[in-house]
Amino acid sequence: SDYNPFVVLPHKPTYLLPITYNASPNNNPSRKLTGEDMQYAEIKFQLSLKVVMVPKLFKDNGQLAFAYTQQSYWQAYQFRRSSPFRETNHEAELMLYFFNDVDLMVMKNRMITWGLLHHSNGRAEQFSRSWNRLYLNFVLEERNLVISIKPWYRIPDEEKRDENPDIEKFYGYGEVLAHYQMSEYSIGLLLRNNFRSRNRGAIQLSWTFPLYNKVNGYLQYFNGYGESLIDYNDSTNRIGLGIMLTNWL
């Protein structure tokens, strides 16, 4: 079939959680910005897209792609302050995919991705957070189960302008993602850990279920560090309910 370089494809999940409750909000940035504490309830949503720029870089294999992911936290129910957006994170990725079919006995390695990622919140001065990473992503598959193992390396920043020099202590050095499809239902698990004596990490559990036509309901629970960049060094405990527009599979 003819290749169209302008087709926009899904990348990470795209979802809307109009109801989330954060039991442990980080009020320090909020007080500095507005003089008020955060509300426990807010809207969280994520949009993630990619474009394949070169479909066959090396003969019949190797795809070069660009992806953009935006994740936002909206204090929509804080009517006294005109419902401000509390935080928006941006991820820009350049990725090189290689498809394979290596049998690892228990599962098959379907794909390996080399990636360069810029992650920032687009703010200035004391509220600015950003870092750059190189990563490898190994995608394993067996029937309805997909596991992604993604170690990364932080590209060193200039010491004088490094906005978050200790960010690896909270995000760690990689993440593991598992996704299991059961007919019209799916469950997901995301794990991060810093593998240090002062242990910090994160876990995210998710469940999707049929709602209406092609729209799925989505339940998400997050506990730990690094849910958003402004809160990377403060632990979050959040549960949210909404809709999933595109999933991992």
Which residues lie closer than 8 Å to 97 by C-beta, 6 or more apart? Answer: 62, 63, 64, 65, 111, 112, 113
Active-site annotation holder among 83, 90, 118, 128: 118
Active-site annotation holder among 72, 83, 90, 120: 120
Chain centroid to CA 67: how far? 12
The bridge status of strand 85-103 relative to strand 108-120 is antiparallel
Whether 118 is a known active-site residue: answer yes
Q: Which two tokens stand for residue 49?
A: 């897209």
Whether 206 is a known active-site residue: answer no
Which residues lie closer than 8 Å to 178 by C-beta, 6 or more apart? Answer: 145, 146, 147, 148, 188, 189, 190
Nearest to 45 by CA among 248, 173, 228: 228
C-alpha 49/C-alpha 93 separation (Å) is 10
The gap between the terminal CA atoms of the chain, to the nearest Å, is: 22
The residues annotated with a catalytic role in the active site are 118, 120
